[in-house]
Amino acid sequence: MIRLLASTLVLFWLCPLLLPDALQAQVLEVPSAIPDADPQAAWHGQGHRIYVVTWRGCEESCEGFLEYFEANQISAQFIVRNAEQDATRLNGFRDEARALQPDLILAWGSTVTLGIVGPWDSNDPRYIRDIPVVFMYVAQMVESRITRSLESTGRPNLAGTDYSVPIESQLRAIQAYRPFDRLAIIYDPTQEGSVKRVEAVRQFTKALDFTLIAESLPLGPDGRPDPASLPAVVERVAAQRPQFIYFGYNSFLIRHVAQFTQLAVDHGLPVFTGGPLPLVKGHALLGLFNRLRSVGRLAAYQAEQILVQGSTPGELPIARFNRYSMAINMRVARKLELYPPMLLLSYAEILE
């Protein structure tokens, strides 16, 4: 098992994506957010018109999407909208997109994508079916009924990307670092992707012989997870003695990543993450993931196929990576006295 894992943990930043050379062009810096435009005079210049809808602002994957167009000298103009983690705003964004008639819509995340295009089996006329849409940073795309399969969306106006590392690969990476028979995950019951991730991890409990401890975040009066509840939630999890906490798809914990991961360390619990943020801005121990800027560039490559090459969105295969990054936070390893096996040190980036 260790030998199999080692063969898959090829560092992404050392090995280029298996994509056309255009995607590997030098990236030029562009602003991390585009100022809101007047809808009545939104499209001023030349180039493809792209309407971007994000869930928590124009973070690194969004920036990577924007950078791709400048780096590859593809003329484009953007309007970027931020839902600020409020799904009710998506109704207005749909209406605005229809009024603006962009050439393409970029949808960030499962909630945003469902809010723009709806489930594939819905006939609700409010959802957009006549403008090309590319999604990125979507978890559990089939289970959420965004796509009909993992290979293609099965929807004429929708193309997408799969940013995720297979869950089994993530769990085996944890096993390679430290064998476990109890794994904890803290999830947001209001976020579909977070709930689906729990279900997806649970599917491997029998095959990999572990117990999953799933703890739901309590909700406050506003119907959202209550930040004040975090210490008690982590304490309840720690009392059940897991060997690792799995950092699942969870925007709430992302917002409170430093506090959450520090609470875990204070209780002697290492955190595994499928994304880089809990490692670089928090106190996670181990991660196996794809770089966020590369996630955005991959989505931009899909957009290029539609806008420049004239491809039909629904006929494009789901774009995905086949190499992943592993990183280990040695500062946390020393704090927890959980030092990595020598084999993993041959592959992983070491963070301090």
- Res. 2 pLDDT band, cuts 50 70 90: very low
Domains of the chain in sequence order: 19-163+292-320 (3.40.50.2300), 167-289+325-351 (3.40.50.2300)
CB proximity list for 251: less than 8 A, separation 6 or greater: 55, 56, 85, 188, 191, 194
Confidence bin at 164 (pLDDT 50/70/90): confident
Q: Report the pLDDT value the prediction gives residue 38, as an integer from 0 to 100.
A: 52
Give the side-chain half-sphere CA count within 13 A for 8.
18
Asked whether the CA dihedral 127, 313, 62, 120 is positive or negative, the reply is positive
* 12 pLDDT above the threshold of 90: no
Q: What percent of the chain has pLDDT over 70?
A: 88
Compute the distance between CA of residue 12 and CA of residue 347 in angstroms, rounded to an integer. Answer: 10
Q: What is the pTM of this model?
A: 0.67
What pLDDT is recorded for position 41?
A: 54
Check residues 341 and 352 and name the one with the higher pLDDT. Answer: 341
Task: Tell me the pLDDT tens digit for each residue of 256-290.
Answer: 999 999 999 999 999 999 888 899 899 999 999 88
Please state, rounded to an integer, the average pLDDT across all residues of the chain.
86
User: With 60 as the cut, is the pLDDT of residue 87 above it?
Assistant: yes
- Cβ neighbours of residue 249 under 8 Å, at least 6 residues apart? 110, 139, 140, 191, 193, 194, 196, 197, 274
User: 3-class SS at 104?
Assistant: strand
What does the alpha-carbon distance between residue 71 and residue 294 come to, in Å, rounded to a whole number? 13
By three-state DSSP, how is residue 100 classified? helix
**Burial per residue of 33-52, b for 16 or more beta-carbon CB atoms within 10 angstroms, e otherwise:** bbeebeeeebeeeeebbbbb
- CA torsion 280-32-161-192 (nearest 10°) is 70
10 Å CB burial of residue 325 (0-12, 13-18, 19+) is buried
φ, ψ (nearest 5 deg) of residue 158: -120, 125
CB count in 10 Å sphere of residue 125: 7
Distance CA 210, CA 182 (A): 5
| Token code pair at residue 177 | 């670092």
**Strand partners of residue 245:** 184, 271
pLDDT in tens, 96-138: 999 999 999 999 999 999 999 999 999 999 999 999 999 998 8
Distance CA 102, CA 166 (A): 33
Instruction: Give the model's confidence band at 42: pLDDT under 50 very low, under 70 low, under 90 confident, else very high.
Output: low
The string of pLDDT tens digits covering residues 174-210 is 999 999 999 999 999 998 878 888 999 999 999 999 9
Q: Which residue has the tokens 């999407």?
A: 65
Residues 213-244 pLDDT 10s: 999 999 999 999 999 999 999 999 999 999 99
pLDDT of residue 35: 41
Q: Is the pLDDT of residue 13 over 50?
A: no
Looking at the DSSP bridge assignments, the partners of residue 91 are none
Q: Is the pLDDT of residue 74 over 70?
A: yes
Q: Which helix (H) or strand (E) covers residue 135, if one does?
A: strand 133-136
Gap between the Cα atoms of 136 and 109, Å rounded:
6
Q: What pLDDT band is residue 33 in, cutting at 50, 70 and 90? A: very low
Predicted confidence at residue 50, as pLDDT, reads: 95
